[in-house]
Amino acid sequence: MLEDLNISDIHSLGKPQAIEVLSQITRIEKKTFPASEAYPFGEELWRKKPNTRVIYVTLAPQGPLIAYALYVRQKGAAFLHKVCVAEAFRQKGVGMQLMKFIRTRLQKEGCQCVHLWVDKGREPARSLYIRNGFEERERFPDYYAPGRDGIKMVLDLERGT
Ligand SMILES: CC(C)(COP(=O)(O)OP(=O)(O)OC[C@H]1O[C@@H](n2cnc3c(N)ncnc32)[C@H](O)[C@@H]1OP(=O)(O)O)[C@@H](O)C(=O)NCCC(=O)NCCS
């Protein structure tokens, strides 16, 4: 279990630091996801898109970036598009701490539910979401590619899970 993690939002940074964090995220994103599923973590995510929030995790305030997440707020809902922990830091509780940070923050902001779509084959992610109170709502055959089904999951934040 990794402790002393620094979890923060790129919107709380100045522009040069935010751009540095976004470039570190881009490196991990490219290593983790195929090009067709890699999210473009461009400069415009800092301040220009206030509803799109990028959360990042470092080992200490100035330490290396080890995880990140991206969600979009729309009225009472949030859409969680990415959660990723760098490979060397997986299975040490980082994903749980990141999800807890997001849940607590959205609850404080009065958000009612979190929606996401996940590839059925991404077992660790599905398990992480279930552990955090998400429920499967719908299955979409061949959603990501032929033979790769998508699962829509929802977390009800008002239920206090
Ligand atoms: C999914 C992911 C974020 C989990 O991060 P993590 O830091 O390893 O997760 P944690 O160590 O906090 O584990 C929390 C829970 O996640 C699940 N989990 C994590 N790794 C797992 C694995 N290899 N197999 C099955 N379940 C796993 C378990 O439910 C675990 O709870 P447990 O330890 O009580 O069993 C990480 O594996 C990852 O970045 N995967 C690649 C990117 C991805 O698929 N993202 C989701 C789509 S955008």
Q: Residue of the nearest CA to atom 27 in ligand 1?
A: 124
- The closest-lying atom of ligand 1 relative to the alpha carbon of residue 131 is 29
**Distance from C-alpha of 62 to C-alpha of 73, rounded to nearest angstrom:** 28
Please give the chain's pLDDT, 161 residues, in tens: 888 899 999 999 999 999 999 999 999 999 999 998 999 999 999 988 899 999 999 998 888 999 999 999 999 999 999 999 999 999 999 999 999 999 999 999 999 999 999 999 999 999 999 999 999 999 999 999 999 999 999 999 998 54
Residue 54 lies inside a defined structural domain of this protein: yes
Task: Check: CB of residue 91 under 8 Å from CB of residue 104.
Answer: no
Q: In CATH, what number is assigned to the domain containing residue 29? A: 3.40.630.30
Residue 19 lies inside a defined structural domain of this protein: yes
Number of folded domains in the chain? Answer: 1
DSSP 3-state of 56: strand
Task: Check: CB of residue 21 under 8 Å from CB of residue 46.
Answer: no
Residue 1 lies inside a defined structural domain of this protein: no
- Structural domain of 116: 6-159
What's the CA-to-centroid distance between 41 and ligand 1, angstroms?
22
What's the CA-to-centroid distance between 122 and ligand 1, angstroms?
9
